[in-house]
Amino acid sequence: MTTFDSTPDSVAGGTAPHVLCAGDRFITAASLAEAARSAFGPGTRAVEYRTSWPDVPFGAVDGVREASGDPAELAALAADSEVVLTHLAPITRAVFEAAPSLKVVGVTRGGPVNVDLAAATEHGVPVVFLPGRNLGAVAEFVVGLMVTLPRSVGVASRELAAGRWDARYFRFELTGLELRAATVGLVGLGAVGSRVAELLRGFGSRVLAYDPYATPEAADKAGVDLVPLPTLYATSDIVSAHARLTDDTRKMFGAEAFAAMKPGAHFINTARGELVDQAALLAALESGHLAGAALDVFDPEPPDPADPLLSRPDVILTPHLAGASRQVALESVERVTAEVAGFLHSGVLDHCANPQWQDHGRHRT
């Protein structure tokens, strides 16, 4: 990892804030610094901190999750910072304790799990985050899987790469449905599920959804039919997981759920690996009850190389890529700096992960 002060001497020490820009190889420190200078003024002192994610995996660090970087290095760099902008850097208690001037942390993620929110609140520092920041990328990825999975693209590609030209997928019983003829079941009708439904309207699919929190108005807007979960399972040619991970939804896709699904259905999970009992999914595939699956998320991540799901030709596997697009990276930087700039100007936040921050510690609006 590399750190350096990217501000020219001629503007250092101006009235604009000192900003720590902690980036990686997806959302770069340079892009955060450029956006900070544009949003906060030309006198902004932007210190860049770089990590090697995704080339080096993220992990748990000092009480935070899915983080990349050294908290001690970040604490030293944040000592005189008023703003921290980051994607995955571990913004731990040590960072907050080392930064008495810190006013706000901006995180370019839908879930700022790399920030110690309790410590942020205790120190009176709001944490900006970006709900729905990658919903477009994820939704398009999901629809792409809905096109390719039933049409045997994954298994045919593997076979051709292995030197086998096999036209058996033209046999009637092995051909798959076009989306215009498919019934798609969405388990969860939040931002991503609603966008998937919107895209599927263009294909002419019948779309069902189960979401205990969705209103009839939201379903009408998305163009879906809200149905009980057993109905969705029994009717859908493709079942796609979009539920939030809670104690109630953990392992909700288990043996009972897979058994209730329509014989020959396909299952897709781009939400959270912990939603799925992977042993039960394997059993449903081995029995032939499910025709195939596509998994972008796993429990644990990365999965064990010996996991038998990884070697099955009827499973499409990707390493948590659904949210990776250039638009996500560029727009996330623009959104987070704009919201932080608005907060510094007016004290107002649209997306704050710790709304109790004003009740604790120091106030710096």
> Quick one: 170 and 294 in the same domain?
yes
- The rounded Cα 110 to chain-centroid distance in angstroms is 7
Contact in structure between 333 and 341 (CB atoms under 8 Å): no
**Separation in Å, CA 248 to CA 232, 252, 268, 275:** 18, 8, 20, 10
> Quick one: 269 and 331 in the same domain?
no
Assess if residue 204 is contained within a domain.
yes
Taking all residues of the chain, what is their mean pLDDT, rounded to a whole number?
Answer: 93
> Quick one: 231 and 285 in the same domain?
yes
pLDDT band at residue 362 under the 50/70/90 scheme: low
Assess if residue 179 is contained within a domain.
yes
Assess if residue 271 is contained within a domain.
yes
> Quick one: 247 and 311 in the same domain?
yes
Assess if residue 93 is contained within a domain.
yes
What tens digit of pLDDT does each residue of 216-259 get? Answer: 999 999 999 999 999 999 999 999 999 999 999 999 999 999 99
What tens digit of pLDDT does each residue of 326-352 get? Answer: 999 999 999 999 999 999 999 999 999
> Quick one: 53 and 26 in the same domain?
yes
pLDDT band at residue 12 under the 50/70/90 scheme: very low
> Quick one: 193 and 312 in the same domain?
yes
Res 361: pLDDT: 56
Q: Considering the entire predicted model, what is its pTM? A: 0.87
Res 16: pLDDT: 81
Task: Please compute Rg for the chain using Cα positions.
Answer: 23
Catalytic residue (choose from 34, 73, 301, 331): 301
Domain count for the chain, please give it.
Answer: 2
On the CB side of 271, how many CA atoms lie within 13 Å of its CA?
A: 28
> Quick one: 171 and 126 in the same domain?
no
Q: Is 320 a catalytic residue?
A: yes
Assess if residue 115 is contained within a domain.
yes
> Quick one: 128 and 140 in the same domain?
no
**Secondary structure (3-state) at 298:** coil
> Quick one: 251 and 187 in the same domain?
yes
Who contacts 187 (Cβ-Cβ below 8 Å, separation ≥6)?
Answer: 209, 210, 211, 229, 232, 239, 240, 241, 242, 243, 252
- DSSP lists the bridge partners of residue 19 as 46, 83
> Quick one: 284 and 338 in the same domain?
no
What tens digit of pLDDT does each residue of 46-91 get? Answer: 999 999 999 998 999 999 999 999 999 999 999 999 999 999 999 9
How deeply is 283 buried, as exposed, middle or buried, from its count of CB atoms within 10 A (0-12, 13-18, 19+)?
middle
> Quick one: 63 and 83 in the same domain?
yes
pLDDT surpasses 60 at 103: yes
Residues 365, 363: Cα–Cα separation, whole Å: 6
Q: Which residue range forms the structural domain that includes residue 280? A: 135-317
Assess if residue 63 is contained within a domain.
yes
Assess if residue 17 is contained within a domain.
yes
Catalytic residue (choose from 151, 320, 360, 364): 320
Assess if residue 364 is contained within a domain.
no
Final residue before a domain boundary, out of 299, 317, 335: 317
Catalytic residue (choose from 109, 133, 242, 272): 272
**Separation in Å, CA 175 to CA 5, 142, 153, 202:** 58, 20, 11, 22
Give the residue from 265, 335, 323, 274 showing the smallest Cα distance to 294. Answer: 265
**Domain of residue 291, CATH code:** 3.40.50.720
Indicate the length of the chain as a whole number: 365
Res 359: pLDDT: 85
Residues 360, 365: Cα–Cα separation, whole Å: 13
> Quick one: 181 and 203 in the same domain?
yes
